Amino acid sequence: MINNKLPLNFIWGSGSSAYQVEGAYERDGKGLSVWDTFSHIPGNTFRGTNGDIAVDHYHRYKEDVSLMAELGLKAYCFSISWPRVFPEGSGAVNEQGAAFYEALIDECIKYKIEPIVTLYHWDLPQALQTAYGGWEDRRCIDAYLEYAKYLFTRFKGKVKYWITINGQNFITSQGWLTALHPPGKLNEEQLFFQVNHHMYIAHAKAVQALKKIDGQAQIGASFSYTPSYAFDCAPENAMAKMNYDELHNFLWTDVYIYGRYPKFVLKYLEKRQVVLDIAPGDQAILLDAAQKVDFMGINYYSTRVCEENPIEQEKKMYRERETGDIKARPMSCYYKNAKNPYLEVTDWDSSIDASGLRLACREITSRYQLPILITENGLGTFDYLENGEVHDTYRIEYLRSHIKELMLAIDEGCDIIGYCVWSFTDMLSWLNGYQKRYGLVYVDRADQSELTLQRYKKDSFYWYKKVIASNGDVI
Ligand code: BG6
């Protein structure tokens, strides 16, 4: 019997991101994003899938929000498409785009669903990429800040929770190391760190700006936190785990919450001859914003196993841009990842580890003592629609086990303010098309065709509804 100590105001939510659900990629004055461009280049995405139409949330948001209300959601965590609001990235506002988000926010509020709004979930305006290489240039920080301030001002009093950047660690690794996301650069370590630095400053300046514009609202980044285990008790494997944690978790979380880079990372940069261009005043901005961050957003999916990598020959897979071939590239000698024999895996070979969520919360709490908002957690699988029903017992089992671990974490002292199931409806998986489904609501569409785009409530929808209604007692 689980000891459910969830607070009465616990935020039960579910989420989406603009590019993955909205569609309408060139409607009503929207500018192109880097994802619109990238996904239109053959070979860049799975079976050429893209978000041109996605699941048409742009036109069906009222239907979707009314389904959220039926489910009893307390919050909807979604992102705003920057080029829908600022088609050129900065300068003129596209009123139709901003009005869409206003209507979406109002629709949520009408049903007492708290909008949790992400400013940046990877769909950078293409105009900024073309003009100066987007995040590679410091000017991108100013454009982001202009965009952020506009939204904070326009939605003041309506939006109480803001997320600055979603999965910065993920998007910068995929964009500048593995070439899987735009701008599709491979092993550009110098740029990878520089882009990250620019994003830290953008995040920090947004935090500072929100506190000036709307003191009542709360803000944090959402981070793809992947905790790790040492392969065994061999001391070198414990050290490999430490290296992994520094380079894959603390590099980001320490900057957000302490306002400084981990010492190990600074040494790492020195050894790799990566010289960061840090402007005077950056340090002060990071430190100041770190004091003002309200919560840590966590996207949690799985854990890693770390092992020593003495000979630098472990290979990491990446997709060749020109040919689309999967190739291997040498990885650093700091660690390598091994399979975890104790865990089952998803259809996409990602380990399923409910207790890893508790571990993540405990680590964050121990290191930073900050409230935690689980911004994403869910299972991507093949689902099958039969007679209008989807019997996704595997998803229920996945979510149940993770929520139970969350309750244990709360019982152990973690201040967890909410939990958002990824995702509300099925949507585009960036690199796995529409066949990889996460939703509580099934959407009738295939990789190559939109089909009817009709919505069907999965068994997990009805299950989550009971969980929310009982505030976690019925699980
Ligand atoms: C998260 C992203 O890190 O991973 C989401 O924020 C994404 O946008 C999710 O959908 C799952 O990733 P994938 O590759 O399984 O679709």
Task: Give strand ranges (E) for 62-151.
Answer: 75-79, 114-120
Query: With a 6 A CB cut-off, is 376 part of the ligand 1 pocket?
Result: yes
Task: Determine the pLDDT at residue 4.
Answer: 76
**Per-residue model confidence (pLDDT) at position 333:** 75
Ligand 1 atom 10, closest CA = 429
Atom 7, ligand 1: residue with shortest CA distance = 429
Q: Which residues contact 444 (CB under 8 A, 6 or more apart)?
A: 385, 451, 452, 453, 454, 455, 456
The minimum-distance atom of ligand 1 relative to the CA of 17 is 8
Ligand 1 mutation pick, 49, 50, 181, 422, max ligand atoms within 8 A of CB: 422
HSE at residue 320, side-chain half, CA atoms within 13 A, is: 7
Q: How far is the CA of 378 from the centre of ligand 1 (A)?
A: 9
**How confident is the model at residue 210, as a pLDDT?**
98
- Our answer on whether the CB atom of 118 is closer than 6 Å to any ligand 1 atom is no
Helix or strand or coil: residue 76? strand
Whether the Cβ atoms of residue 50 and residue 36 lie closer than 8 Å to each other: yes
Q: How far is the CA of 172 from the centre of ligand 1 (A)?
A: 14
Contact yes or no for 7/407 (Cβ under 8 A) = no
- pLDDT computed for residue 334 by the predictor: 86
Among 226, 299, 377, residue to substitute to test ligand 1 (most atoms within 8 Å of Cβ) = 299
* Average pLDDT, 10 consecutive residues per value, the chain (475 residues): 80 98 98 98 94 98 98 98 98 98 98 98 98 98 98 98 98 94 93 98 98 98 97 96 96 98 96 94 98 98 92 60 56 82 94 98 98 98 97 98 97 97 98 96 96 98 98 94
pTM: 0.95
User: For a substitution probing ligand 1, which of 121, 347, 438, 447 has the most ligand atoms within 8 Å of its CB?
Assistant: 438
- Measured by CA distance, the residue closest to atom 13 of ligand 1 is 429
The answer to whether the CB of 166 is under 6 A from ligand 1 is yes
Phi–psi pair at 409, nearest 5 degrees: -60, -40
Looking at residue 187, what is its pLDDT? 87
* Ligand 1 center–CA 453 separation, angstroms: 21
